[in-house]
């Protein structure tokens, strides 16, 4: 069995990665370490809780010593998703981003070295590259690092720490960077789930500035397949970019959502633009295609249609997130397991030892 430790596995991308691993790798044993801050939701993985190859451990990446015993034997691979990720929140207060994204990454690298973990995968973002002009070539792996928000700066710092750990200590590290993800289980503060759920409720759709910021949209499943390919087949010390040739303006995406839901464009409300708002991201992924045999499989029209359909079919899920009721799920699970064979976090329910 290959033992995987996934940090931040209760978040949007992490949960989709955990599900992919369990579905496509029968020899995978997965330990999910997540602190369950506001964006961590165990309901995202309620369908795999009973899988004997899966374990959840509640823990903070800043302090691996506090949860190391619950994890049991050392993993073969660490995939580090755990991060504060919302740009707006980083503008309001950068401190949590420095704590989790910078100090947390260094703590995980230290734990990796202490435990002798063979592979560490850092899941990064295209935002570390900064912004592109309308006619600029797409970002590639050796594009300059020029972050423009506290969030992006914290992720760039984390990437540099990962590089330093490889050069200084000889760790086998791999860095992945991806464009804007969309798909099921995305927290409704991000653009697409916010637009979808607000439109379903006939509430205003707030769009920053003129809405002409350009993003390269990739379905979360394609991103997760890229991370898996990098973890299994990537070269130590390399960076792999993942994109989908899906450049669209934010306004275009909002229009598509409204059309799919049959809602009027009069719901759109332009609001004051975000400070330091990057104008365009676009990811070149020729190297990932050549070196990993990876390429996106989900087209934008197909993926967005499926995503809107998912939110329509899972109204209870997003209403619980928006109301905050999802935060009770861990407490309910804890009480149930405490009455049974142990509390979540002990690793006993999944063969984690």
Burial class (CB in 10 A: 0-12, 13-18, 19+), 1: exposed
What three-state secondary structure class fits 146?
coil
The Cα 106–Cα 43 span in angstroms is 29
The Cα 106–Cα 114 span in angstroms is 12
What three-state secondary structure class fits 180?
strand
Active-site residues: which are they?
126-127, 151
Query: What is the DSSP annotation of 202-265?
Result: T--EEEETTS--EEEEEEHHHHHHHHHHHHHHPPTT-EEEE--S-EEEHHHHHHHHHHHHT--G
The Cα 60–Cα 36 span in angstroms is 9
Sign of CA dihedral 130, 135, 141, 143: negative
Sign of CA dihedral 59, 62, 63, 68: positive
Within 73-154, strands assigned E span: 77-80, 119-123
The Cα 34–Cα 37 span in angstroms is 8
The answer to whether the beta carbons of residues 124 and 159 sit under 8 Å apart is yes
Sign of CA dihedral 269, 270, 272, 274: positive
Within the chain, strands assigned E span: 2-7, 28-34, 54-58, 77-80, 119-123, 173-178, 180-182, 205-208, 214-219, 239-242, 247-249, 268-271
DSSP state of 138: P
**Alpha carbon of residue 159 to chain centroid:** 15
Output the CA–CA distances (angstroms, integers) from residue 35 to 57, 334, 345, in the order listed. Answer: 8, 14, 11
């Amino acid at each position: 069995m290959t033992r995987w430790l996934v940090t931040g596995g209760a978040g949007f991308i992490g949960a989709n990665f955990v599900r992919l691993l369990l579905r496509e790798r029968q020899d995978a044993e997965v330990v999910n370490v997540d602190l369950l801050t506001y964006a961590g939701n165990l309901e995202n993985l309620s369908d795999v809780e009973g899988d004997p190859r899966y374990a959840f451990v509640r823990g903070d990446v800043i302090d691996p010593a506090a949860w190391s015993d619950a994890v049991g034997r050392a993993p073969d691979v660490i995939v580090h998703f755990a991060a504060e990720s919302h740009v707006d929140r980083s503008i309001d207060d950068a401190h949590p981003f420095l704590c989790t994204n910078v100090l947390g990454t260094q703590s995980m690298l230290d734990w990796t070295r202490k435990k002798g973990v063979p592979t560490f995968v850092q899941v990064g973002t295209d935002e570390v590259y900064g912004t592109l002009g309308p006619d600029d070539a797409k970002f590639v792996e050796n594009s300059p690092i020029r972050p423009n928000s506290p969030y992006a700066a914290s992720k760039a710092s984390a990437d540099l720490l990962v590089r330093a750990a490889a050069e200084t200590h000889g760790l086998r590290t791999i860095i992945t960077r991806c464009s804007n993800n969309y798909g099921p289980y995305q927290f409704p503060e991000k653009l697409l789930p916010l637009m979808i759920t607000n439109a379903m409720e006939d509430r205003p759709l707030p769009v920053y500035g003129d809405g002409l910021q350009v993003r390269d949209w990739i379905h979360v499943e394609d991103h997760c397949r890229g991370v898996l390919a990098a973890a299994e087949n990537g070269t130590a010390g390399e960076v792999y970019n993942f994109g989908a040739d899906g450049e669209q303006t934010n306004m275009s995406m909002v229009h598509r959502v409204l059309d799919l839901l049959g809602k009027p464009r009069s719901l759109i409300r332009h609001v004051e633009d975000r400070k330091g708002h990057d104008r365009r991201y676009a990811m070149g992924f020729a190297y990932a295609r050549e070196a990993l045999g990876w390429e996106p499989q989900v087209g934008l029209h197909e993926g967005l249609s499926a995503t809107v359909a998912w939110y329509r079919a899972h109204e209870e899920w997003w209403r619980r997130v928006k109301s905050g009721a999802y935060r009770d799920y861990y407490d309910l699970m804890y009480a149930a397991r405490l009455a049974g064979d142990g509390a979540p976090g002990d690793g006993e329910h999944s063969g984690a030892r």
